[in-house]
Structure 1
Amino acid sequence: MLTAAVLVIFPLCMAMAATNDFLSMTIPNRLSVILVASFLLIAPFSGLSVVDFGWHLLTGLTVFVAGFALFALRVMGGGDAKILAASAIWYGWTAAAVNYFAYVGLFGGVLSVVVLLLRANSNLIIASGLPVPATMMQANKVPYGIAIGAAAFATFPQSPMFQSIVGIFPG
């Protein structure tokens, strides 16, 4: 049951965040709440030590504070900041988290270029019939949840939670 929870909850929440951001340029708060609550319920049974558990929480708090600052500066959306912080809790203060954030930046950069190209060629996109949501074409922001979700899928197998559940990492 524990293995199923780890292998389903995190990926499902990240996929839903990316999909919602793509379709509506919003990420529901409930996804961040589910990620944090499920981590708090699962982590004590996953083999993480109390110290590691604390580092995971500190990682989430640090990312939340940084995300809040970026939101206040109008650099990042509120949903993006919350889902990034909630997902960071699952990585902890580890090399996997560094990889995760590097992928978020890399995928975010590529996504930004793609969105800018789509907007610059909006008449061609509309004429081609490609299924691009109107919110993406008209908004003045980038659905960064897509990059966050893609980075999560690329790096989740490296995370301590995943590794402890599948028996690769003892705790």
Structure 2
Amino acid sequence: MSRFYDAGPLAKVGINLFYGYGYNFYRLENQFRADDQRVRQMACTLLGRARAGIDAAESRYRRENIQAPTRANPFPDAAIVANAQALERLGGEIGRLEGLIRHQPVPENDRMTQRYRQEGNTLAALAEKDAVLVGQAELLRSIVEGAASDKILASKGEIEEGIAAITATLRERQTFLS
């Protein structure tokens, strides 16, 4: 019988390799770490949908409201341009938040972190903060996805409030990890 089929020694080698890299797939902390990544991915997906909704509304708004220049009227109305720029800015801010969430750190999985910081409690607290983040992203998505540009412009204050709330939650998360 080949050594490749002997589960006892192979399992020991595999476990030793996992431990050498600081990974033990049976530890609850690793499940929390994976959950944290999954939850942040969900928040990014929701924010991506919100940004796509605003981008589509901006595109429709420009197409419907900005007329081709004529000799008599070479420039579009300033209010229309300002509204289009406001939609563009909102979409950019949501995209910035998506990037920030995607690149948020988690505690390192090393022996010093495990010894001096209660990794499981830290990751569980991060999961709570990330759940709030997903809720905020879903609320923002529900406001803008599929909405007409006029409705988005009318809800601009509420959208900016949502962006500020998500930014504050990210700041709390970063402060918690410092």
TM-score above 0.5, yes or no: no
What TM-score do the two structures reach when normalised by structure 2? 0.30
What TM-score do the two structures reach when normalised by structure 1? 0.31
